[in-house]
Chains A and B, each alone.
Chain A
Amino acid sequence: MKKSLWLATGTVGLGLILGACAGESGGGDSSSESGDATQISFMHWRGEDKAVLDEIIADFEEANPDIRVEQNIYPSDQYQATAQRMLQEGSTGDVFTSFPGAQFESIESAGFFEDLSGEEFVSNFDESLITVGQKDGTQYALPYQLVFNMPVYNKGMFDELGLEVPKSWTEFQEMADTLLENDITPIAFPGADIGPNQFMNSMMMNNAPDEDIFEKLQNGDESLTNEWWVKTLEDFKLLADKGYIQDDALGTNQDSAMAMVANEEAAMLATGSYHMNSLLDLNPDLELDLLAPITVEESEATYEGINTATFMLAVNSNSDKKDQAKAFIDYLSQPEVASKYANETGQHLTVNDVEYESEALQNTSYWIDERNTRFQPRFLITNAQIEDAVLSSIENVLGGEDPMAAAEAAQQIVEENRE
């Protein structure tokens, strides 16, 4: 009896010890006091920027010896799904980044943003580009990157073929016909991943110039079966029917689409400015610029392109190292630091007085000041299921469905998910 009791107790005890050991080893706190310095966690999704951020962090730590910064990087899909949970706990993401739109809304409603309105470093950012990080007059997050979510095109190829940037839907089709005549696919469309959610923005920007269109859709004041969206779907169908996008576009991922443009089999990549560096890595001889399809006649066009102020820097309200977190954002917003980040990652930024050194960035900088671009409409859909419905209708049309039928199917899902 005694022996078996000891054995049982021992088994339980061993289990508890093992459990305790497992918890300790797996539960490392990423934002802790590290020696004399305070360690903060910088949580974001840009794995490709890790190296340059490591350099920036090293400089920051040299200037601020009492602060250590650790990067916690998650792939963007995973980040969108799990960031809120980690912020809630408070030990990760003293400084974190947020996407605009649904994620910003969700984090704001959960109360995880520290109010940055009164901070001096806010003035280091372009006032007109940081409104997306505000809610009810409070600055919760500061967008750092400025990307243009519109097709990248092979300017050298256009020059060679005597093509000009089309200013209307008619001119766009003429341009696409010329490319086809030269055995070039006009648009490489990565329909298997990011194609629909990127290209929808420029395809609809002039069909629905009202920037509140998706808010109205979510409120029930607009419908996907109205002309603005049905026409957008018809335009997508035209691209597919006339062969302006490659066959089997819904099975093409972004790597394959990029390869088509890099190999000059296709003239445009329907993603955004953030792919220009990658294209130049694949083919350094390319001369690139940005081109959004104008889907109306020239006189009716309101916008020339799409911009997104994203990678929004914020401080976690659950953090107990807010001052150190703010010091790091202050450092990132210094023009010389921002310039280093911009030039090494090939990104335009929202920070004032950034000096763009690379040819690709200089050649496209005119889009910031000289062109009338509109904030990415997709990010104004704050309900993820409604966003899915909108994107699915594009996939549906590219799969052969009639535009009105696809719009009706999507509208049904919108109505099911209205709050």
Chain B
Amino acid sequence: MRISKSIYLFFLPGLVLYSLFFLYPTISALFYSFTDWDGLSTAFQFVGIDNYTRAFTGDSIFQKTIGNNLKFMLTVVVFQTLVALAFALIVIKNTKTNVFLRALYFFPTILSSVSVAFIWAFIYDPSMGILNQVLELIGLDFLAQNWLGNANIAIYSLAITQVWFHAGQMLIIFVAGLQAIPEELYEVAKIEGASKWQTFKSVTWPLLAPSATIVVAYTTIQSFKAFDLVFAMTGGGPNNSTEIIATYIYDVAFKSYQFGYASAISIIFMVIIALITYLQFKALRSDRVSY
């Protein structure tokens, strides 16, 4: 069949938008990452790979942000995936109660991140916060913490907020994945005398792998880019303990006016996310799953 050349015109709007809003900024960032541009002046100088060298050998805060980001990402990926999966298994059937519960679990997702930050800053407040008060009320006052003020735990407190914020979104993906698994497979497993755990391990989980891959990959990217929540709740403090790469790029670009250096960090950031996402896809091997 001969395809008309005019069909290529259909690519044009997408190509224009993609080029304008993704390709051009990315190439610009790459270009400026080799300069000392301050973001305001028209003049700049090429500095070669100095910005990249600085990031890896002469900027202890940037190195700390990578560590913080990994802690945040791992906590969020593990807990968000587990929580979303557990809740999805509970609400998988389309009963009225379950539909209501799915909507309820999804509710935090529709809130603005600033509202979520405000709610959780109040929950975590060491003197007036509801979390410490509840812990005291149930006799677990030894667990009461300065959740956002303690540099050792602040990043995990933020991660829990992120899980609360987005687990509902992942739950919907898991529910869709679970509902796509053919019922017959469960019937066979039942006839064969498989236990619930064996059924989950041998039927549910392997066939849920494509959904799990999406959830894990999306959660990873989302947790790397969790700028708004961190910015609104801690601003990166105390003592840079919650500074993540995204907030650090903002500080370097818009507070220190080092756009060249910020561009270099952005490129490194993009490579890190791409690498981790690729490794996750390889590890979960979602493309090999079949019925």
Contact = CB atoms under 8 A, between A and B. Distances in A.
B40 A88 contact: yes
A416 interface: yes
B150 A81 contact: no
A1 B148 CA distance: 63
A384 B127 CA distance: 31
B150 A396 contact: no
A388 interface: yes
Interface string A366-395: 000000000000000001110010001101
B257 A106 contact: yes
Contacts of B235: 193
A5 B238 contact: no
Given A250-B238, A256-B128, A392-B239, A4 B149 contact: no
Contacts of B124: 251
A110 interface: yes
B255 interface: yes
B237 A395 contact: yes
Interface size class of B (residues with CB under 8 A): 35 or more
Contacts of A253: 121, 125
Interface in B217-272: 234-235, 237-240, 250-252, 254-257
Interface string B11-37: 011001000000000000000000000
B149 A250 contact: yes
A84 to B, nearest CB: 5
Nearest to B254: A81
A81 B58 CA distance: 24
B145 to A, nearest CB: 8
Interface in B42-96: 54, 58-61
B149 A249 contact: yes
A399 interface: yes
Interface in A171-198: 191-193
Given A11-B10, A256-B128, A388-B251, A413 B61 contact: yes
Contacts of A250: 146, 148-151, 237-238
Interface string A249-267: 1111100100100000000
A47 interface: no
Nearest to A13: B13
A4 B150 contact: no
Contact of B6 (A5, A81, A256): A5
A395 B151 contact: yes
B240 A392 contact: yes
Contact of A80 (B4, B13, B148, B255): B255
A251 B10 contact: no
A399 B128 contact: no
A384 B256 contact: yes
Contacts of B254: 80-82
Contacts of B7: 4, 8
A85 B39 CA distance: 8
A4 B255 CA distance: 51
A8 B9 contact: yes
A252 B150 contact: no
Interface residues of A, number: 45
A226 interface: no
A260 to B, nearest CB: 8
Given A11-B13, A392-B240, A395-B237, A416 B128 contact: no
Nearest to B61: A413
Contact of B149 (A106, A248, A383): A248
Given A5-B6, A12-B13, A84 B257 contact: yes
Nearest to A2: B6
A17 B148 CA distance: 48
Nearest to B41: A110
A84 B12 contact: no
Nearest to B257: A106
A247 B256 contact: no
B173 to A, nearest CB: 30
A393 B237 CA distance: 11
Given A1-B6, A106-B257, A110-B40, A251 B13 contact: no
B239 A396 contact: yes
Contacts of B39: 84-85
A8 B12 contact: yes
Contact of B59 (A80, A192, A383, A416): A416
Contacts of A398: 238
A4 B250 CA distance: 46
B41 A5 contact: no
B126 interface: yes
Contacts of A383: 256
Contacts of A80: 254-255
A246 interface: yes
Interface of A: 1, 4-5, 8-9, 11-12, 15, 80-82, 84-85, 88, 102, 106, 109-110, 191-193, 246-253, 256, 259, 383-385, 388, 392-393, 395-396, 398-399, 412-413, 416-417
18 contacts: A8-B10, A11-B10, A15-B16, A106-B257, A110-B38, A192-B148, A192-B238, A193-B235, A250-B151, A251-B124, A251-B148, A252-B127, A259-B128, A392-B240, A396-B151, A399-B149, A399-B238, A413-B61
Q: Which 5 A-B pairs have the closest CB atoms?
A: A251-B149, A250-B149, A8-B9, A248-B126, A81-B254
